[in-house]
Structure 1
C-alpha cells in the first residue's frame, strides 16, 4: 500500500481547543480515501482470482457433467475453486497437497461411512483414519488439514450411497486438476504486476520511515525516532508475503507457456528484491542503533541524518530501474555512494594514532550504526545490478577515501 496512506493529521499534535469529534470529522475524508486506495490495491492484486475461479468452476462442471456422467457434479467445481484460491500466492507443492488432501478425505470417507453409517463417533473415526493415512503418506500441514476437513464434509454432508462413491472421488480429482491447470496454465497470474504490487506495501512505507527517521534525528526527537523504527519493524510480515509472491511468480513463468517470455525479467527482479529486503533489514538495524544512541544522549551529526534520507531517496530511484524498460541505475548508485561519503564524514577524519582510526564524532552505538549502514548500502548496490565483488569494492574504496581525507 502506498506510503502516504496514513492521514497526515495523525502525525501532528491536535490544535488547542479542537474537540475530538471535530478532529474525527476533519480526518474522515482522508480515512475514506485511505479505504478506497486499500481496496483498489487489493482488487488490482487479487482481481484475477475471480476470473480464474469462475473459469475453473465452469470447466470443472462441464467435464463432470459431460464426460463423467454426473448430473450434479457439485464436488468438481467446488474443489476447482478451492484449489485456485489456495494457489494464489502459494507454492505448487502446497497446492498439490491440498488437492491430494481433498481426494484422500473423500476416499476414506466414502470407504468407511457405508460400513458404519453417520453419527458422532463415526465422524471422529473417519477424521482419525483420514489424517493417519495422510501422515503415512508423509504429507505436510496442508494435506493433513484438507484430508481431515474433507472427511468431515463427507461424513456429515449426506447419507452414504455406494453408487456415488466413485463419481464423487473422480469429481474431486478432476475438479482439483482443472483448478490447478487454470491457475497455472490457462489464466495464469501476471508475474511482473503481481510482484510489483506486493512490493508496494514494503517499499513505500520503508522509504517514508527512513525519511521520517532522518528528520527525527535532526531534531533529536526520541519519540519520532522510535516511531520510525516501529514502522520498519512491522514490514516483516509484508516481506514474507512478497517472498511468497516471488515464489508463486517463479512457478508461473516456469510452467505457464503464456509467461515464459518474462523469465529473464523475473530472475533479475527477484535478485534485486532479495538484496533490497536485506538492505531493509540493515536499515532497521541502523534505526535501532541510532535510537539507542539518542536514548543514551550520544552525538549524531547532521551528516548521518542526511545520509539516511539520501539512502531512502536512492531506494525510490532504484524502483525505476526494476521495470521492464530497465532505466539506467547510475543515478541510484551515485546517491548510495554519496550517502556512504556522508556517513564517513559523520564518523570523523582519520586520527594520527592508528589505535584510534576516527576522531569519534559518533558514540559507541553510532559507530555500530555506521557499519550497519555500509552493509545496507552494499546490498542496495547489488540490487541495482552490480555483482557482489563490485559492490564490496565500491563500498571499501569509498570508506578508504573518507579515512584518507
Structure 2
C-alpha cells in the first residue's frame, strides 16, 4: 500500500481509500458525501431512538392509560439524542435531571398556577437549576423545554404529576434501551480511529517531502495537520469511553470489552506519540530552510510512517499489529545518531534523538510494555 509512488507515499486508489468521507462539495458548500456519511454513522442512534420512543409511548398510553403521553416520548428522545457520549451514566443523569425538572414544574403549577409571569418563573427556575447541576447546555435547554410542556399543555386527565410519571417512563426506557438495543460504540470508535490515521498519513508525507527537499511549506502543512488531530483524538477517547461503559452494562456487548480495552491502550499511547510527533515537526519546521536536504532523516521518518500506517490497518486486521511492531523495532534499531548521521553536528543529531520517545510510544501502542519497547531501540 505504501510502496508505490515515492517511497512510502500512498498513491491512486490507495490514497483515496484512506479518506473516510471525501469531500464532494457543491457550489453552495453543501457536501453530499459528508451528509451521507453523517446519516450512515447516525443510523444506529436513529434506530435506538425510534424503538425507545415507541416503547415509552406504548407503556404510557396503553399500560398507564394516559391519553397523550407527550413527555414520555420527549424525555426518551432528549435522554438518548445524538451525543457522542452515550454512556449509560450520561443517559441516566440526563433522564433524572429532566424528570426532576418536570416534577418541579408541576409542583410550581399547583402553587402559583398558569399565566405569563408564572411561565417565566418556571422557565427561569428550570434553566438555573439545570445549569447548576450540569455543565451541558443541551441538558439545560431540554429541561427548560420539558418544563414549558408542563406549563403550556392542557392539564392531563390523570391529575397532578401524571406528566412526571410519563417522564419517569421515558427515562427508564431510555436507560433500558441503551443496554438492550445498544448503538455500535466499537464501530464508531473504529471510525474515529480511521479518521485519525487518515490525517496522520498526509502529515508524514509532508514531513518526508520537507526533509528531502528543504521545503518549509511542507513542514508547515504537516504541523497544521498534526495540530488539527487533537479533536480527532478527543472524539476517539469519548467514543471509547462510551463503548467501555455500554459493554460493561449490555449483555450483548460484554464479550467485546477486551477489544475495547485493547483499543483504549492503543489510543493512550498513540495520543502520546502524536504529541511527540508535533514536537518533532515543530523542530523540523524551525530547523529547515537553510538550503540543506536531509534525506537520511527523511528515510527514518518515512519508515515510521509505514509502521503507523500498518498500525492503522490492524484495526480491521489484528494480525497486522505484529507487523507494525516489527517495523517499528527495525526503525528503533537504527535510531542512533552515529548510524543515521555519522559525523554530523550536535544540532542535527538532536532530531534523531527526538524520534526515540516517539517510537517507544508507538511500540507501546502495539502492546509492548515500556521496558521491552525501550530495549528495542539502538543503544547509545
> Is 2:107 the counterpart of 1:125?
no
Change (3 A) 1:174 1:59: same
Tell me the alpha carbon deviations over residues 163-214 of structure 1, each in whole angstroms, 9 at most, x when there is no partner: 54322101111112112211x2221122432211111211111122112211
- Provide Cα deviations, 1:125-179, integer angstroms capped at 9, x if missing partner: 22443456568xx733249725752465246533566954322101111112112
Q: 1:176 to 1:28 in 2, by over 3 A?
A: closer
* Equivalent residue, structure 2, for 1:109: 105
Number of residue equivalences: 362
TM-score with structure 1 setting the length: 0.79
Instruction: Quote the Cα distance in structure 2 between the aligned partners of 1:164 and 1:156.
Output: 14
Q: What is the aligned partner in structure 2 of residue 10 from structure 1?
A: none
After superposition, where does 1:252-271 map in structure 2 within 5 Å? Answer: 252-271=246-265
Alpha-carbon distance, 1:120 to partner: 4.6
Whole-Å separation in 2 of the counterparts to 1:212 and 1:372: 18
- How big is each residue's C-alpha offset from its partner over 1:226-249, in whole Å with a ceiling of 9 and x where there is no partner? 011101111111111111100110
Comparing 228-237 and 273-282, the one that deviates more: 273-282
- Decide whether the 8 Å contact of 2:150 with 2:163 is kept in 1: no
Corresponding position of 2:38: 42
Match of 2:310 in 1: 317
Shift in alpha-carbon separation, 1:61–1:52, aligned structure 2, 3 A: same
CA RMSD, 1 decimal: 3.1
Match of 1:157 in 2: 152
Contact 1:57–1:81 (Cα < 8 Å) also in 2: yes
Conservation of the 8 A alpha-carbon contact between 1:343 and 1:370:
yes
Structure 2 partner of 1:308: 301
Decide which of 163, 171, 176 is 1:168's aligned counterpart.
Answer: 163
Q: What corresponds to 1:354 in structure 2?
A: none
Equivalent residue for 2:70, pick from 50, 70, 74 = 74
CA distance in 2, matches of 1:196, 1:178: 28
The structure whose residues are more often helix, as a share, is: 1
Q: Is the 8 A contact 2:20 2:195 kept in 1?
A: no
Mapping of residues 329-340 of structure 1, within 5 Å: 329-340=321-332
- If the length of structure 2 is used for normalisation, what is the TM-score? 0.84
Give the direction of change, closer, same or farther, for the CA distance of 1:320–1:28 in structure 2 (3 Å limit). Answer: closer
Corresponding residue number in structure 2 for 1:219: 213
Q: Which residue, 234, 254, 258 being the options, matches 1:240?
A: 234
Question: Aligned match of 2:55 in 59, 62, 86?
Answer: 59
Query: Paired residue for 1:327?
Result: 319
Question: 2:194 aligned with 1:200, yes or no?
Answer: yes
CA 1:233–1:226 in structure 2 vs 1: closer, same or farther (change >3 Å)? same
Give the CA deviation at 1:88.
4.4
Structure 1's 191 and 166: CA in aligned 2 closer, same or farther, altered over 3 A?
same
Deviates more, 1:220-229 or 1:159-168: 159-168
Structure 2 unaligned runs (5+)? 1-15
1:86-107 superposed Cα distances (whole Å, 9 cap, x missing partner): 5643433322221122112111
Structure 1 residues 2 and 321: alpha-carbon distance in aligned structure 2, compared to 1, 3 A threshold: closer
Q: For the residues of structure 2 that align with 1:253 and 1:28, how far apart are their CA atoms?
A: 36
Aligned 8 A contact 2:102 2:147 in 1? no
Matched, 1:394 2:376: yes
Report if the CA contact (8 A) 2:214-2:292 is conserved. no
Evaluate the alpha carbon distance shift between residue 51 and residue 389 of structure 1 in structure 2; reply closer, same or farther with a 3 A threshold. same
Contact 2:72 2:167 in 1 (8 A): yes
- Asked if the contact 2:193/2:312 (under 8 Å) is kept, the reply is no
